[in-house]
A and B are shown apart, each in its own frame.
Chain A
Amino acid sequence: MAKLSRRDFLKGLATTGAAVGAQATGMLTRLPIASAQDVAQVTYATPGGVVEDAAWEPVWEAFNEENDDIQANYLAVGGGYGPQYLQLLQARLAAGTGPDVFFVMDGFMVGFAARGVLVPIDSFVEAHPDVDLEDNYSGHIEAHRWQDQLWGLPRDGAPYATWYNADIYDEAGIPYPEGLSWEEFVEQAVALTERDDRGRASVIGAGRGAWIDWIWQAGGEVLNEDGTECLMGEPEAIDGLRFAQSLVVDHQCSPSASDLADQNEGALFTSGRMASFTAARGFLGAVCNTPFRFDAALPPAGAIRVGRTNVGPTVMSAETPDKNAAWELLKFINSSRGQTLKISTGYAYPSRRSVVQEDWYVNFNCGQAIGTGLNTVFNDIMENGWARTWPKHPQWPEISTVINTQLDALYSGDATPETVGGEIAAQVNAILSAE
């Protein structure tokens, strides 16, 4: 083998580098410059994933077919539906390479709006009556309104209902749950729960439910109307906390921290270890493949019938160079056609009534579903105004972190509801006053 001199090695290295550089330059110049002169490029960002990427594909195909002068590009940022997505998204925004239109988790939308990242879209809505906001559930639209301005439109909605395992109920001879009172809910859950003498559960009667549902149902609130004071120390909120604690600590009919350390509520339910729990329509994607019979029903209610609904805010970046093109894309994603294409699997829940009323959606069925609850209850919840969105505050991510940390002590029984409520109020008020 011939010996390679240092000079030859360096020459080779330089030649290879030059060739790679030339190729890269050529590739870059061949990128969309030619089309960019004629067609506005608009990018939509979302966490993405194998299933989600496939669900969006027909949306872009339809949009690009219908809009000769706009090219919609899909950007799967990654990171999942959590803080890592925000990290990746914000890095792009800070670097000036952010998307034109993007999804942001509803708890974070106001934070983005407050920092001037988003464009309020009221003027676009006024100029385009064809957007037909009335067709959206009002609760889902209101979730995007903050300080009297509209900051985005929903790509879907996610009211929560009770999913139940009909096999477990039948075996126990207990009627299926449907809009139970708190007392009935506890009675059923206790009767369904099976734990051994060490507290290990083979069947858990019911999920914990979202803490905020119990607070609202007891007449409590997290923040006052203008978001300047935390009300978690008030008697109504403490009643809600007391009920939440009783399910886990006193009645042991909802999962303890140890139960949840192994499997989250969704996994407990799909593995047949939990009789019922609350989740959005999107849970169909998981429950359709289970071997047991199931359906969705109206969740329990306390003094007030109310539960939470999530939304999928679609917002426009303040930095987008062509706001009209971005608006067209945003409008299409929210439109009946956009949502129908996106939700073609039937799993997610649309924010538009017209889509919910389409035959294919009304008659949707899958797996071992035993009834029509999964097609009717979510609509009933929205139409009757039984759903609320999470409180809107720029500091909500920090506020919810404080609350969730304190709830650990509530669910373990280490602290009383009064202590937890008071501690949450003190810490959240400190955040609000620092702001």
Chain B
Amino acid sequence: MVFNAPADCLMHIQNIFQPKRLSFWESLNAWLFVLPWVLGFILFTGGPILASLLISFTNWDIVNPPQWAGFANYEMMFGDPLFFQSLKVTTIYALVAVPLQIIVGLFIALLLNTKIRLIGLYRTLFYLPAVLPIVSVAVMWRWILSRDWGLINWFLSLFGVYGPGWLSEPEWALPALILMSLWGVGAGMLIYLAGLQGIPTDLYEAAKVDGAGPWASFVYVTLPMISPVILFQLVVGLIAAFQVFAQPFIMTEGGPQNATLFYLLHLFRNAFEFFRMGYASALSWVLFMYIAVLTLLIFRFSAAWVFYEGEIRNE
């Protein structure tokens, strides 16, 4: 869909967004307001980021002065089978869990985007799991996933299926953690819900006049209109998926047989158990580059499927 905005409308929009020149005192005030954040960013985020880059070129055991190592830490990764294992585990998790979270989150949001009694309560109930502390959630899921006494295997047993040892068998441990990741879809659901409620109803009415059924309305109206929200969820979900740590740390400790050795768990062990802060920093920078490349690819191809209502395209 292409908008051909009239020239005067375009001028008006440009005037709105044209920054006015601020006076000295206005600038000072503005900087005073943002100064705590800027200082916080420099001291606690920007500084450590730069420091970690430098550390990645050193051998540093945390308590002694670092020694320059050049690219040795980066070269070391190629000989580290656990680096590849952790990268594989995390990538599989991200590739399966993120789309699943998007689909389930959107599905729940569609169900909750109706005007029925107690809808506020339902929305709260679906959002509630997202605010629970991860440690208590992990402990609870250990029980849900128990082979002998767990809720899931009890449910399967109703159909004569003996469920596996979800967390104790290498082939099932990662799927179990992916399944568990759906527990937090409430947060995404809320964002989809906001997106769905922002879709003008006249679009649905127009589609209905053109003979569109519910499925066609969903595919040709709903999906395009919330595609920026899906893009946002995809990028944020991908970054979060590559930073999964607490669940394997608490529930499986990377096992069984490294089946849930997530990248950050491998990084954490190298940093704080094996005293290899330089190698751990290098691992973190490789992860950063990996996520950055994937994010750029997503943005590169997003033009093909993301629709911005207010976007003005020059064709």
A interface residues, Cβ below 8 angstroms from B = 6, 10, 83-84, 86-87, 90-91, 93-94, 111, 115-117, 198, 200-201, 256-262, 395, 397-398, 401, 404-405, 408-409, 412, 414
| Interface presence of B71 (CB below 8 A) | no
B268: chain A residues at CB < 8 Å are 83
A116 to B254, CA, bound (A): 30
Once the chains bind, are A408 and B272 in contact (CB under 8 Å)? no
| Interface presence of B62 (CB below 8 A) | yes
Q: Which of B32-63 contact A (CB under 8 A)?
A: 32, 61-63
Q: Which of B32, B63, B143, B162 contacts A90 (CB 8 A)?
A: B63
Once the chains bind, are B63 and A401 in contact (CB under 8 Å)? no
A213 to chain B, nearest CB (A): 21
Q: Which of A93, A200, A408 contacts B63 (CB 8 A)?
A: A93
Q: Which of B63, B147, B148, B272 contacts A87 (CB 8 A)?
A: B272
Once the chains bind, are A398 and B165 in contact (CB under 8 Å)? no
Once the chains bind, are B61 and A115 in contact (CB under 8 Å)? yes
Once the chains bind, are B149 and A262 in contact (CB under 8 Å)? yes
A83 to B149, CA, bound (A): 30
Once the chains bind, are A117 and B29 in contact (CB under 8 Å)? no
Contact with A along B138-153 (1 / 0, CB 8 A): 0000110111110000
Q: Tell me which of A6, A115, A257, A412 has the highest count of chain B C-beta atoms within 10 A of its own C-beta.
A: A257
A111: nearest residue on chain B (CB-CB)? B275
| Interface presence of B15 (CB below 8 A) | no
Once the chains bind, are A261 and B63 in contact (CB under 8 Å)? no
Known contacts A94-B63, A111-B275, A261-B147, then 11 further A-B pairs from the complex at CB < 8 Å, ordered by chain A residue = A83-B273, A87-B272, A90-B272, A90-B275, A200-B148, A257-B169, A261-B165, A261-B168, A397-B273, A412-B257, A414-B257
A409: chain B residues at CB < 8 Å are 257
A319: nearest residue on chain B (CB-CB)? B63
A404 to B253, CA, bound (A): 11
B63: chain A residues at CB < 8 Å are 90, 93-94, 115-117
A93 to B167, CA, bound (A): 36
Once the chains bind, are A90 and B168 in contact (CB under 8 Å)? no
A403 to chain B, nearest CB (A): 12
Once the chains bind, are A398 and B273 in contact (CB under 8 Å)? yes
Once the chains bind, are B272 and A261 in contact (CB under 8 Å)? no
B145: nearest residue on chain A (CB-CB)? A261
Q: Tell me what chain B mostly uses at the interface: helix, strand, loop, or mixed.
A: loop
Once the chains bind, are A86 and B149 in contact (CB under 8 Å)? no
B interface residues, Cβ below 8 angstroms from A = 29, 32, 61-64, 142-143, 145-149, 162, 165-170, 254-258, 268-269, 271-275
A94 to chain B, nearest CB (A): 5
Once the chains bind, are A261 and B257 in contact (CB under 8 Å)? no
B23 to chain A, nearest CB (A): 13
A408: chain B residues at CB < 8 Å are 170, 255-257
A6 to B254, CA, bound (A): 54
Q: Can you show 19 pairs from A to B with CB atoms below 8 A apart?
A: A10-B32, A83-B272, A86-B272, A90-B272, A94-B62, A111-B275, A115-B64, A116-B63, A198-B148, A256-B165, A257-B168, A258-B148, A258-B168, A261-B146, A262-B143, A262-B148, A262-B149, A405-B258, A414-B257
Once the chains bind, are A258 and B165 in contact (CB under 8 Å)? yes
A291 to B250, CA, bound (A): 30
A185 to B63, CA, bound (A): 46
Once the chains bind, are A198 and B165 in contact (CB under 8 Å)? no
Q: Which of B32, B147, B273 contacts A86 (CB 8 A)?
A: B273
A395: chain B residues at CB < 8 Å are 274
A200 to B147, CA, bound (A): 9
A180 to chain B, nearest CB (A): 28
Enumerate the 9 nearest inter-chain pairs by beta-carbon distance, A residue then B residue, closest first: A257-B168, A258-B165, A258-B147, A87-B272, A408-B256, A200-B148, A258-B168, A408-B257, A261-B168
